[in-house]
Structure 1
């Protein structure tokens, strides 16, 4: 199977924000387009929790990527103009080092011996790739989606002056109690599965039920009540499709969640899920502003920004996108704020390209041409 994935070996030891360091660690990434001779046309994309670095198809890997309709020649993120990099988050299991990786000190998977992970660590790993791996001193634009948007904010706070423009997509400067509560329940579902076994599970003895419940909880929050009503209403399954046991699956929406969970269960490592989920809860721009999110955002030094949110997002609500826009504007950036009415909720940026595409493509088109 073709694979466009590349790897960058992180500086060793790679220090982690909350203590400890990684030796022999790496991040996975993919690229599209051509880097200009002056290395001034680069765009870096930080993803949400579960996607890998394969954001779009390429000659090396023609399979569709998770942002296929957004990225490519002539698309909103036009690879005929931009050199685009998508990095898989440190801590993930999609090619980058994480809890599922082999600990060189023991020859066994890290599991819970992996150091405490923060989104600042994710950001610093991405920065090391850009600056040391690719020799890019300053990004033309930094794009962050969902959890990746928080990683992008961490990147700009830790490395001032090394990003010209920023596109913030459905993210937050800090996790609100509702988001923390949902992710806490997801983590609890995994940890309470007997097969999790304090992180020492195997393919044969795997926390299937915990991962299934965690994914279902996530999917419920990724879409809006409006879409659930529109797609499923109260439609019941045909009698021959229903489960016979007491309280079994009866409605179409239940069947949809079950199918979605089953597809995901073995596609993401449970320990990696736990680490990235907790890292999302820990991130807080207020730490950089003496307890104030606004003051923390004012420390970000960029020229232009596009902040996009959707009115139906319950996980990263629109007021948090407004908070980011106000903070970046107060820092001196020229900020465009776009509030979309998409019924798809938090997942809108993945599926509602008809609305997100023109906003992102238009912003990038208006950026100054690289010298």
Structure 2
């Protein structure tokens, strides 16, 4: 075989990890040297053949040590190849971003969002369990976490177990003999509700990153449009965990006259730096995936590599160190084999599996928008005043839209014009009297004074009975953040605040405790609801 044929063959697209890769960018001239890098037994045989085929070929000598293999990267390349082929052949595994059959509510009225965006109309996917009583006073609105669908419990239409299957049903914490339980997929999501993957009625194309920035309050307002359509004026309770715990508080602040009780589990009254930082890193690894394509990937290969890494980062925050010590320790998947740079320890293989399983189940753009809404969450009065001012300034835009006059999308600063600062952030010495925030002698401590701004912001909840539950092993929403909620509610004058904190002796499951602990979490909810 000639040198040119060798080079031409090596330039063909290759996806299999064991096939030769050649680093020479152009065909060699008569006096040039061709370097061929062996990568496996297959490539070494090719390398030897190339040496025999020409007197002018010079090869690199065998390395002192063999090259490592990277099955984790091979898996990513293989998935990209299969997705690319499936799109060409219109068959094979395609991301569906669905959760099964559900009910749908369509709002034909436009929705003005907090930061100035407008949804001309929107869809809410929801499911319900139990029976609504005659005076429609027994409804419980169940709010979801970041990536959950409306499928909290099995239904006739979708018999698959839901994400809170053991908590909903006859005699369960959300007792369907007493209550009519409603769960929605939030707007911005991808399980039936309007989100970035939905069609923009203005141009018939997917919104992608033309979708407007969202807030928790936007999601709640959309949910209350659904309640209006069902004729439900007042909720028996607003219940939620994690991001749902944020929404349950927001529902009470926005509609205090329509919410009779609040349950907030492993949530917060405002997002704090650690959780913001973790969600930031997830968004960054996703957006750095070349397949993300600034959000316009729907006709191509989805950014599954970035999604996998984002999920692995998230999983680190969902579970606890103590649990992982017991579950994995320092054990390796196969101690008889030499160490590898790909997943090797049991904890690494667990994270790898979690990311691999999820990377095509959820729309990447939904992850970006919904997680950003979590970052923006702040029920403090100063923030509420600022948002209310923005909404007031944009009220004319909504009216113009209703009148069919069209909307200038660049008006009122809607277009993102964020720029990075000229000077990077520099650490500054903190005053000696700055309180610690470890939950013992600082923010969230049992005897700490809550911030006046937050007390003012939660004032609408002064007369609303509330259950606030936290978990000591939670590192994403630490228990001091639930203490902050409880203390702030009490400071508003609320005399009906039940605060429960599960110590590590009761739960080692970290943030995911709300999904797993039927006895302690479910028991507290059942007692509170009555």
TM-score after normalising by structure 1: 0.93
**Structure 1 position 299, deviation (Å):** 2.5
Which of 311, 328, 353 is matched with 2:518 structurally?
A: 353
- Greater shift, 285-294 or 115-124, is seen at 285-294
**Is the CA contact (8 Å cut-off) linking 2:252 and 2:262 kept in structure 1?**
no
**Is the CA contact (8 Å cut-off) linking 1:142 and 1:163 kept in structure 2?**
yes
**Is the CA contact (8 Å cut-off) linking 2:99 and 2:191 kept in structure 1?**
no
SS of the residue 1:8 aligns to: strand
**Is the CA contact (8 Å cut-off) linking 2:248 and 2:263 kept in structure 1?**
no
Which of 355, 362, 371 is matched with 1:277 structurally?
A: 371
Tell me the residue number matched to 1:154.
Answer: 250
**Is the CA contact (8 Å cut-off) linking 1:243 and 1:250 kept in structure 2?**
no
Which of 329, 349, 355 is matched with 1:255 structurally?
A: 349
**Is the CA contact (8 Å cut-off) linking 1:216 and 1:261 kept in structure 2?**
yes
Which of 189, 214, 234 is matched with 1:92 structurally?
A: 189
- Seen in structure 2, the aligned counterparts of structure 1 residues 145 and 243 have a Cα distance that, compared at 3 Å, is farther
Query: What is the aligned length?
Result: 362
- Seen in structure 2, the aligned counterparts of structure 1 residues 40 and 121 have a Cα distance that, compared at 3 Å, is same
- Seen in structure 2, the aligned counterparts of structure 1 residues 56 and 19 have a Cα distance that, compared at 3 Å, is same
- Seen in structure 2, the aligned counterparts of structure 1 residues 20 and 336 have a Cα distance that, compared at 3 Å, is same
SS of the residue 1:150 aligns to: helix
RMSD: 1.9
Residue 337 in 1 paired to residue 499 in 2?
yes
TM-score after normalising by structure 2: 0.66
- Seen in structure 2, the aligned counterparts of structure 1 residues 335 and 2 have a Cα distance that, compared at 3 Å, is closer
The higher radius of gyration belongs to 2
- Seen in structure 2, the aligned counterparts of structure 1 residues 128 and 322 have a Cα distance that, compared at 3 Å, is same
SS of the residue 2:212 aligns to: coil
Deviations 1:288-328 (A, max 9, x none): 38971222112225431111100011111111111111222
**Is the CA contact (8 Å cut-off) linking 1:4 and 1:58 kept in structure 2?**
no
**Structure 1 position 4, deviation (Å):** 5.0
**Structure 1 position 24, deviation (Å):** 2.6
**What is the CA–CA distance in structure 1 between the aligned matches of 2:321 and 2:246, rounded to whole Å?**
25
Tell me the residue number matched to 2:117.
Answer: 20
**Structure 1 position 19, deviation (Å):** 0.7
Tell me the residue number matched to 1:234.
Answer: 330
**What is the CA–CA distance in structure 2 between the aligned matches of 1:248 and 1:35, rounded to whole Å?**
53
Which of 154, 162, 177 is matched with 1:80 structurally?
A: 177
Deviations 1:9-59 (A, max 9, x none): 124211111112112311111000000000010100110001100101123
- Seen in structure 2, the aligned counterparts of structure 1 residues 59 and 163 have a Cα distance that, compared at 3 Å, is same
Residue 169 in 1 paired to residue 265 in 2?
yes
Structure ranking higher on relative contact order (CA contacts 8 Å, 6+ apart)? 1
**What is the CA–CA distance in structure 1 between the aligned matches of 2:350 and 2:299, rounded to whole Å?**
25
**Structure 1 position 237, deviation (Å):** 1.1
Which of 260, 279, 283 is matched with 1:187 structurally?
A: 283
Tell me the residue number matched to 2:293.
Answer: 197
Tell me the residue number matched to 1:124.
Answer: 221
Tell me the residue number matched to 2:438.
Answer: none
Q: Give structure 1 regions of 4+ aligned residues with deviation exceeding 3 angstroms.
A: 1-4, 288-291
**Structure 1 position 247, deviation (Å):** 1.1
Tell me the residue number matched to 1:109.
Answer: 206
- Greater shift, 189-198 or 327-336, is seen at 327-336
Tell me the residue number matched to 2:474.
Answer: 313
SS of the residue 2:104 aligns to: strand
SS of the residue 1:30 aligns to: strand
Tell me the residue number matched to 2:319.
Answer: 223
Which of 164, 168, 190 is matched with 1:67 structurally?
A: 164
SS of the residue 1:292 aligns to: helix
**What is the CA–CA distance in structure 2 between the aligned matches of 1:301 and 1:289, rounded to whole Å?**
19
Which of 294, 297, 302 is matched with 2:455 structurally?
A: 294
**What is the CA–CA distance in structure 2 between the aligned matches of 1:2 and 1:336, rounded to whole Å?**
34
Which of 338, 345, 362 is matched with 1:268 structurally?
A: 362
